[in-house]
Amino acid sequence: MGSVGDRAAFAGLHERYASMVHGIVLARVPLDEADDLVQEVFLIAMRKLPTLRDPAAIGPWLARITRNVTVRFHRTRARTRRLHRDLAANPNPGRPGEGSPMAEALEALAVIGSLPEAYRETLILRLVEGLSGPQIADRTGHTPGSVRVNLCRGMALLKQRLRTNTRKEQRTHEW
């Protein structure tokens, strides 16, 4: 890993970008796979850091590595893809109880998972990882304008789908 100074610098890098990496991962893979892939991204980044040409572009560089890791993850998986929507739609004995905070979180994540990728990633970075719009733009390298559009349109669509789900559940209970 190099010098102690390098390790400290890398820890700082992790502190600043781990949320971004996790958010990008979570927008593409099941929740229970996300932490492992975050670790993998940073291990790759550790090795590739000497090849980074422009230190100022480290956020977008890390974002690219992250997306590549998720693409490879899906390529190497031979079993059926389990997206968040399947988890929410098919409860099993190991799942959180209906109505519990975790169940609600997973259900919301499932609905976000059904949105277009650009909205999905931005909303997860905002709502799960707690990054503001300017922070998302700064770290991912996207323009503030495009981040704002994705947030606003994504949230509008998310609200619409959550309302639709709520009405469906109410009708189910009425039956």
Partner 1 sequence: MNGDPKENADDHSTDEDQNYLWDRTGPPDPMVQHLEEVLGTLHYRGGPPSAAPSAPVIRRLLPRYRVLPFSAAAAVVLAAAGMWLLLRGDGGWELAEVVGSVTVDSDPIGATGRLGPGQWLKTAKDARVRVTVADIGSVLVHPESHLRLLATRAGTEHRLELARGKIEAMIAAPPRLFFVNTPSAIAVDLGCIYTLEVAEDGRGLLEVAFGIVSFERQERESIVPANAACRMGPLVGPGTPYFTDAPEPLKRSLDTYDFQGGGDEALNAVLDQARTRDTLTLWHLLWRATGDQIGRVFDRLAALASPPASVTRQGILGRDQTMLQAWWDELELGWR
**Which chain residues interact with partner 1 by CB under 8 A?**
1, 7, 10-11, 14-15, 18-19, 21-23, 26, 31, 33-40, 42-44, 46-48, 50-51, 69, 72-73, 76-79, 101-102, 104-105, 108-109, 118, 124, 126-130, 132-134, 143-146, 148-153, 155-160, 162
Shortest distance, position 45 Cβ to partner 1, whole Å: 9
Among the residues of the chain, which ranges form H helices? 4-26, 31-48, 58-76, 84-89, 101-113, 117-127, 133-140, 144-174
Shortest distance, position 55 Cβ to partner 1, whole Å: 17
Helix (H, G, I), strand (E, B) or coil at 138: helix
Q: Which is nearer to partner 1, 19 or 140 (CB)?
A: 19
Shortest distance, position 175 Cβ to partner 1, whole Å: 27
User: Judging by beta carbons within 10 Å of its beta carbon (0-12, 13-18, 19+), is residue 79 exposed, middle or buried?
Assistant: exposed
* Contact (CB, 8 A) for 112 and 124: yes
